[in-house]
Amino acid sequence: MRITRFTIIREGGQPKNNINDLLLLFGERLGLFTLRDKDKSCYRIFITLVRALKRGVKLSSDELAIQTGLTRGTVVHHLNRLTSAGIIVAEANKYYIPHNSLEDLVEDMRGQVDIMFDNLLTTAKEIDKTLDFKHN
* Mean pLDDT of the region 48-60: 96
> Largest Cα–Cα distance in the chain?
59
Dump pLDDT digits (tens) for 13-36.
666 678 888 888 888 888 888 767
| 11 has pLDDT over 80 | no
CATH of range 19-100; options 3.40.50.740, 3.40.50.300, 1.10.10.10, 3.30.420.40: 1.10.10.10
**2 or 94: which carries more pLDDT confidence?**
94
Q: What is the pLDDT of residue 10?
A: 72
CA–CA dist 10, 103 (Å, integer): 18
Q: What are the structural domain ranges in the chain?
A: 19-100
pLDDT, mean over the chain: 88
Q: Cα angle at 6 between 77 and 12, to 5 degrees?
A: 100
3-state SS class at 89:
strand
User: What is residue 109's predicted lDDT score, i.e. its pLDDT?
Assistant: 87
Per-residue pLDDT tens over the stretch 85-128: 889 999 999 999 999 999 999 999 889 889 989 999 999 999 99
Residue 1 scores a pLDDT above 60 = no
Taking the alpha carbons at both ends of the chain, their separation in whole angstroms is 37
